Each structure stands twice: as C-alpha cells, then as structure tokens.
Amino acid sequence: MDGDAKDVSTRPYLLRALHEWCSDNGLTPYIVVRVDDSVQVPREYVANGEIVLNVSDEATSALQISNEFVVFKARFGGKPRDIAVPIGRVSAIYARENGQGMAFPVEEGGTPLLQQTPTAQPHPAGLQSVKDSNRPTKPQDDPPRPTDPHGRRPALKRIK
C-alpha cells in the first residue's frame, strides 16, 4: 500500500456488514451513539451522553451508512426527525434479539453533551432540515427499546 494513501477506517465497513447480517437474519440492528455537538439526534432521548437507535429498514427511511456518517430519517414520538451521526461517534452495533454485535472505541472530538449550551444544531454538509407538512401522517409506534427480563442493560462481550 502507498504511504501517501489516506488511512480509511474499517468502522463503516463493519457497520454496513453487521447491519446487513442483522437484516438478512431477521434481527433488529441497533447502534449506540456517544452524543456530542457533532451528532444530530433528538436530545430528549439522550441518557448519560448516549442514545440507542433502531436502524432497521422498518424503523428508518433513506438510511445511508457512508464512510463519514450514518444518516437516516425516523419517527420519535410520532414526529419525523433527520438523524446524522458521524461514524466516529458510533460506539456499538448489535442485534436487539440476541445482543450479538461489535463495540468500537469512540473517537474524541466535539463538545460533550453535558458541556453544551442550548444552541442551533449543526448540520453535516449537504443535509437540510425537513419541515413538517400539515397533511396527516400515518401513526407509527416508536421503535422498542432493548429490554432484558432481569432488568439489566444489554452488554457486549469482547471475543479474542
């Protein structure tokens, strides 16, 4: 490989592969995102600086997992939202049904959510906010949150 070639992260390729694996096997892919000022998500659903997002084809519209961003549209509380997550802020992807997936180190940068002041949300290049129209929309259920019968949070295991 040429020394001048830009090093490309394997993370987006692994995210796309695990998303496809979940979809092919009838599983629901979820991503865990560390939220900071570079992430465009509904802040009211952020807990402890993280948000868990259902990225299944049924829960999203126009999902794109590029080498730079995970971008899609989804409904939260019945309201359509544009979601944009830099690839470096995705800390895990897993299947809701069995917890299988992969964790990633989070790339640091941006201002942590706890240190932010309420300001306008940044938009990645080429993305624009979509205004709600006055036409009635078909109500959809919010994506279910992963739950464990024992009340524990889902956990990922590192396998070497």
Domain segments of the chain as ranges: 30-98
> Position 155: which residue type?
A
Rounded mean pLDDT of 57-84? 94
pLDDT of residue 103: 94
- Whether the predicted pLDDT of 52 surpasses 80: yes
Q: Is 73 helix (H, G, I), strand (E, B) or coil?
A: strand
Mean of the per-residue pLDDT values of the chain: 79
pLDDT of residue 158: 77
pLDDT tens track for 101-153 = 999 998 876 555 444 434 444 444 445 555 555 444 544 555 555 555 556 66
Kindly tell me the sign of the dihedral angle through the C-alpha atoms of 111, 112, 115, 121.
positive
pTM for the full model? Answer: 0.65
Kindly tell me the sign of the dihedral angle through the C-alpha atoms of 50, 56, 60, 63.
positive
Topology of domain 30-98, CATH: SH3 type barrels. (2.30.30)
- Whether the predicted pLDDT of 45 surpasses 90: yes
Rounded mean pLDDT of 83-101? 95
